[in-house]
Structures are given as structure tokens and as C-alpha cells.
Amino acid sequence: MMIKINSIIFMIFLIVGLSNGFLRNNLYPSTAPANLFLQSIESKPLFLTPYIESGQLKEGRSLSKVVGLPDLQLESYSGFLTVNKTYDSNMFFWFFPALSGKTDVPVLLWLQGGPGGSSLFGLFVENGPIKVSVNGMPYMSDYTWNREFAVLYIDNPVGTGFSFTKDDRGYATNEVDVAENLYEALRQFFTLYYEYKGNPFFLTGESYAGKYVPAIGYKIHTMGEAAKKSGINLQGFAIGDGFSDPRHMFDYGDYLYQVGLVDEIQRDHFKQEQRLAIKYVENGQMKKAAEIFDRLLDGDFDKKSYFLNATGLNFYYNILYDRQPDDFNYYSKFLASAKTRESIHVGNLHYGDDSVLVEEHLINDMMASVSPWIEQLLDANYRLLFYSGQLDIIVAAPLTENFLKHLKWKGSNEYHSAQRSIYRVSPNDPSVAGYVRQAGNLYQVIIRNAGHILPYDQPKVALDMITRFVKNESF
């Protein structure tokens, strides 16, 4: 009887998941919702804000410690931070101190793209300390970014992953909303884990986080002394394949033609649609521009994009793949197990990776640019790294370069004349890792043999790259 009930529940989740579009494409790969394998547990989600507000920091920290994960000797902390009491909006985080055991180390925040992609994808698939095997068992990664740094993963925006809101008005509709919620989460985080206050702090992320990272960075910058008093010592940003400036990045026709994925007729169709979308952007008609982007390439709301029909490819994150790698989904079963959910303090909450609602609320943000914030952050001397996978399609390296060339900041002329250099992980390494172009505090890196999900394709190089950048070491 129990097996039959569980089978019925499984099918209900499957039907709901399909109707919500978890198999659709967007700026971030889709994964099977962990709820498909949900095992009910009695423990409830851990909300840490009451402990922070009442000064019960020791108790809150103790409760947030992650214990009981099989085969892992790994210190970590997780829970929920309430960022808007009016709408009951709560953000889930999972924090990993440095494996070295040191606390006087830089702190990195990782944000996934989407919009609606869970940062736990980055944790398990890209740069975190935990990998998951085909049978759902966790094991330690050889190239985790918390080898020398402390790394914080937050499901962002509200409604993504385990983060949730109980009011439709709690969803972000623009990057100001995103930044407000993230700033409140960070303020509480540094209060609870106070030994990291004042440490060098870096914002990192990929894809649509090319908007989130500058948004929260600009918010921290404008908060000035208040942010510093909260322990947020912002030093720089690292953005991978970031969709930061659609106006100057929406130029797929020539690129796809040059790499042989479309013919001249299909290229011209792309260019015609691109011109119309850019016209809409310039007129402030962001939703119409986003609709063109969707039917041309993204395919979130139109089930089959023009790109899919023209190329037959259902995966535009690496030019060498025609479908999503199977191991992108391995972590879903692990995340849904009763043991894992008890350990990371999420109870029976829904896990919404690639959330449709998040994207629907940000539809007018999709084609907006954050270039003005990036320009101000560069002029304020923060260090910015924009890295690209040579094999990416959705945010291809030439598109990023075109956006960077249009930035207006004090180092613009230096960037335009800067010569790029060859990047190797070690001087005697026969393999070329990529190419680097630097102008003052702006770094542009292109990594060879990597696509959109760069730390997945080239984990060793990605770790070396982020380590050099954070430590301010030369490439």
C-alpha cells in the first residue's frame, strides 16, 4: 500500500514539474526537481533570523551546523535568513569554511544564473566541495573553491531553490529588489558568523548572475560605511559568461554562422530579429525584446526556439554537446533524501530549481543592462573579472567582449589597446589554459575547452583562475 501511495505521489510531482516547465531551456541548465524523489521528514526548516535578532548567536550557529552527511568529513552551516517579514521572504544558504581551517581568509559568495537557477547546482556540479555519484552518494571534490577560501552559496532570488516567499509581492521584479534581499541576507550572515567580519569579500557567479553580482555589488558600494560596519568588506567581482548587457550582447547570427551552426539564410533571420529586439530595448519595451530573445534562442516560454529548430541542438551551453550531461542531475536524488534534508535544515520545503515564477516576475528585467553599475564599480577601483568559456553559445566570448568594449570608465582607452597574453596553469605546462586581457582593475579571461558551465568543463583551470584573481596574483 505504501509503495502504491509513494508511486502516486511521485507521479503528481512529475506532472506538476512538467507543467511548470522544469525541462525547458534558459540561461541556465535545467535539472530534475529534487521533489521528484522527496522522502518526508518530521524536522522543520531552520529560521535563523530570530536567533540573530535576539542576540542568541551561539545557539543559532550551533543549530545551523550541518551534521550527518554520509562519508563526508566537512564543516558547513546552513539555514534560512528572513529578508522581508512583510511578505515572509526567506533565503536559503549553505556556507563552507575554508578546508584549511583558517577563518582569516577571503569569503566568496556564489550566485547561480537563470533567472531561477539554484546556487546548489554550482555547489554540486561546478565549484563546491561536494560531488554526487550516479547512485546519489556524495564524495569530495578535488577542485573545490573552498580549498583556501570560505564560500557561501545562496539560493537567489527569492523563490529559487529552497528560498521562498509566501506572498506574490515578495518576488523580485528587477535588480534593485534582488540587491535589497541579498544585502539583508549578507548583513545577517556576517552577524551570525562574526569571525568573518571584515575579511576580503568577493562576489562571484555566472550567466544571469552577470546582473545579480553587479546589482548587489552596487548596493554594497552605495551603503558605504553601513556595509563596512556590518562586516562586508567588498573587494571585487568574478563573473562567468555573464548576461550583463543584452543591448551589446544580442548578436548571435554572425557567431553561429562563423562556427557552422547556421547557414546564411538562418544567420540573416537571426540578424533581422536581433535588430528588432535591440530597437525594442532602446525604446524601453523590455518585455517585447525578451519575447524575441525567447523565441529566437532561449526557448523558455516557446517550447522550441528557432535555434533548436535550425541546429537540432537542445543544449546551448557548450558547442560540442547536443544534450545536457547526465551528471547535471545526480545531486537531485541526494538533495531529496531524508538524511540530507535533515542535515541541511530544510524540512519538507519544495526545492524549485529553474523556477518559472522567478523568471516570470523578472521578465521586464531580462533585457535590461547593468553596465552603468559596472562602470561605477570599476571607477571606484573594485577589481572585476569577466571570464568566458571558449565553447559557450548562449553568452559566447565575442558577445562578452563586445559588451566590455562599450563600457565607459576611466580605463576604457587602456582596455581598448590592451594586448592579451597566453595563460597557463603553470609555466612549464604544455597546455594552454586560455587567454588574459587586463586593463587596470578589469580582467578578461577566456578559458579554452570550456563552455557556459566553465568550472564543470575545466575545474582545475577554474580553481587556478579564481585563486589568482582573489589573491591578486598575475596570470
Active site residues: 207, 392, 452
Q: Residues 337, 39: contact at Cβ < 8 Å?
A: yes
All cell numbers assigned to 448: 579554452
- Cα dihedral 390, 392, 398, 399, rounded to 10, equals -150
Amino acid letter, residue 146: N
For 328, other C-beta atoms within 10 Å of its C-beta total: 19
Q: Taking each helix axis as running N to C, give the angle between helix 371-379 and helix 209-223, from 0 to 180 degrees, rounded to the nearest 10.
A: 50
Contact 232, 186 (CB under 8 A): yes
CB 408: neighbour CB atoms within 10 A? Answer: 10
Neighbours of 381 (CB within 10 A): 11
Sign of CA dihedral 334, 336, 338, 342: positive
